[in-house]
Amino acid sequence: MRAFVFPGQGSQAVGMGAALAAASTAARAVFQEVDDALGQNLARLMAEGPADDLTLTENAQPAIMANAIAALRVLETDGGIRLVDKADFVAGHSLGEYSALCGAQAFDLATTARLLKLRGQAMQAAVPVGEGAMAALLGADYALAEAICAEAAEGEVCQAANDNGGGQVVISGHKAAVERAMALSKEKGVKRALPLPVSAPFHCALMQPAADAMAEALAKAAIRAPLVPVYANVTAAPVADPDQIRELLVMQVTGTVRWRESVEAMVAAGVTEFVEFGAKVLGPMIKRIAPDATTTSLVTMADIEAFAAGL
C-alpha cells in the first residue's frame, strides 16, 4: 500500500517550483490558477524572492501547497499516474493537510489557495509579535514533552504542538512559558531544546482567534468526499466525510499535529511506501518513525519521471 504525503511550513525556499514550471505546462497551470485565486504574483515570489516575503506565513502556506500540487499535477498529467489509482491514503503535515485534501480533490485548487492565504493571515494576527514562541525538544517523546509543558505553563499556554517522531517534539505557547519549558527540559534529560525562528506560536490555544476565522471560512467552503481517505493531523486516523473534515481542520489550528501517530497508523493499515510531493522534508521524518518503509520525494521533473517509470 502507498500513501501520498505533503509537507508543511518551513519547506519553502526561493526558486521553488521554477524548474518544474519551466519543464511542464501542467505545473505552470497550477501556479497561474493559484495566482488568479489570490490576486497576487505568488509564482514570481516563489521563483525570485525576496526570501523574507516568501517566509511570511500568509505567503509560505499557499506557496508550499502550490509547489506540492504542481508536482502532483505533473505526475498525473505528464506521467499519466493518477493519485486515485496509485495512492491508498493521503496525509499532510499541518498546512500540508490542505494540500493532501486538494490532491485528493476534496477541495479545488483555488479554494485551497484562498483558505491557506486566510489561514496564514489569521495565524499571524492571532498573537502579537514577541508574545509567543516555539521550540523543538530533541530526544524527547510525546509524553515527556507534555509533562514538561504542564510543569512549565504556570498559568500560561504551553503545549506540545507537533509530535514529529524520532524523538522530536515541537512545543508552542507564551514566550515565557516556552522558555521555562526549555530550561526544564535539560533537567528532564532532553538532549537539546532549540528555539524556532517562527513568527507565531502555531498549534496551541493561543491560535483560537485563527481557529474561529477558519471555522467561518470553512463553513462557506465547498468540500467533497476525497478520492482516498485522508489521515487527519488531530486524530491520526482516516477521514472521508466532508463535515468531519471541516471540523477537524478547525481543531487543527489549535491542536497537536500527531504526525508520528499518523505514520504509525498508516503503517499499521498496510502502507509500506510513502511518496512526498514538493519537498524532501517528510521522507527523513518518516524513516525515523518507520525505518522499514520506502520513501520517495518528488521535487524535480527527473524525480517525477523516475517514479512514473518505476510504477
Buried b (16+ CB within 10 A) or exposed e, 72-83: bbbbbbbbebeb
Which residues are CB-contacts of 9 (< 8 A; sequence separation ≥ 6)? Answer: 57, 60, 61, 64, 94, 95, 202
User: Which residues, in sequence order, are bridge partners of residue 171?
Assistant: 135, 160
297 belongs to the catalytic site: no
Count of residues in the chain:
311
**Strand stretches in the chain, DSSP E:** 2-6, 89-92, 132-138, 158-165, 168-174, 192-195, 230-231, 238-239, 273-277, 294-298
The number of CA neighbours under 13 Å toward the Cβ of 150 is 6
Helix/strand/coil percentages in the chain, nearest 5: 55, 15, 30
Burial of 166 (0-12, 13-18, 19+ CB in 10 A): middle
- Which one of 94, 172, 185, 262 is the catalytic residue? 94
* Residue 123 contacts residue 9 (beta carbons within 8 Å): no
Write down the catalytic residue from 24, 203, 262, 297.
Answer: 203
Query: How many other CB atoms are found less than 10 A from the CB of residue 94?
Result: 23
Phi, psi dihedral angles at 223 (to 5 degrees) = -125, 125
The Cα 139–Cα 235 span in angstroms is: 24
Kindly report the number of other CB atoms within 10 A of residue 40's CB atom: 15
Whether 94 is catalytic = yes
Catalytic residue list: 94, 203
